[in-house]
Amino acid sequence: MLALPANGTRIRVLDIPPEGDGIRNMTPEEAAAHFAEIGAGAASNAAKAGAKHALMHRTETIDYGIVIEGELVLIMDEGETTVRAGDIIVQRGTNHGWANRTNQNCRICFVLIDGKFNAELEA
């Protein structure tokens, strides 16, 4: 994954394997290294106190996620939603993580659009 160009877009298809103990037991430092490795170092905030998942993150983008096959759990600061093949998710800069709690691969297509956080809404 490469950083999103300013005012640009990016599309990618990801295969997310079943989540194992390696992810569940990942330290904040390991999570930060994971995001840095895929070119999204600024996205990692798993070290935030009370993070619900090791790979919780937030980006200054609007993301459209289209589940192609399999199943994922979208984890938010408050609540979780299971998404399956054919579901479409719109992420608008919220803190979130993805968990594949099945024993099968999940394939998802993401369309990312560059954006900026609204400072008035952050307060």
Q: Tell me: the pLDDT tens digits for 6-65?
A: 889 989 898 988 987 667 677 777 777 777 776 666 666 655 656 777 777 778 889 999
Residue 1 pLDDT > 50 = no
| Residue 3, C-beta contacts closer than 8 angstroms, at least 6 positions apart | 39, 40, 42
Strands (E), the chain: 9-16, 61-69, 71-76, 80-84, 88-92, 96-99, 106-114
All structural domains of the chain with their residue ranges: 9-122
CATH fold label, 9-122: Jelly Rolls (2.60.120)
> In whole angstroms, what separates CA 5 from the centre of its chain?
18
Which two tokens mark 55?
């790979």
Helix ranges (H only) for 1-123 are: 21-24, 28-37, 119-122
Which two tokens mark 101?
């709690």
Reported as a single tens digit per residue, the pLDDT across 57-103 is 778 889 999 999 999 999 988 899 999 999 999 988 888 888 999 99
| Residue 54, C-beta contacts closer than 8 angstroms, at least 6 positions apart | 23, 24, 25, 26, 27, 28, 30, 31, 46, 97
